[in-house]
Amino acid sequence: MKKTTLSVARLLIACGTFCAVSGAASQDSLAEARFKSPVRLTSGEQHLGAKRLYPSPALHDMNGDGRADLVVADLFGRPTVAFARAGKGLTFGQEEALLDRDGEKLDFNNW
């Protein structure tokens, strides 16, 4: 069976576009809505969620700096975080494993 990874960026763009147009938009404005081309987000030099089975992203300020960081978990229950970098646009640092209070990697062990 071939392993397939979802594009984190495509998922984020689809969710963001849906949220942007699903609010109080009229049917006329929805008919005019257009998706932009997907942009693949990177973490350091790699694509976010690369080589992970069904990466599932969520935006949350993990370090209290006021910027939404990207938390990515996969089918196996291993979450990582890519902290948002200061500057223009969405750029993130290298993905890092999320740690518990004792400094151990979080692993929800879905299998």
pLDDT 10s digits, 38-69: 877 777 778 888 888 888 888 999 999 998 99
Mean pLDDT of the region 82-88 = 83
Q: Report angle CA 47, 87, 98 to the nearest 5 degrees.
A: 50
Distance spanning both ends of the chain, measured CA to CA: 17
pLDDT 10s digits, 4-33: 334 444 444 444 444 444 455 556 666 677
| Rounded Cα–Cα distance for residues 30 and 19 (Å) | 12
The residue ranges of every structural domain in the chain are 8-97
Tell me the whole-structure pTM to 2 decimals.
0.59
pLDDT of residue 25: 55
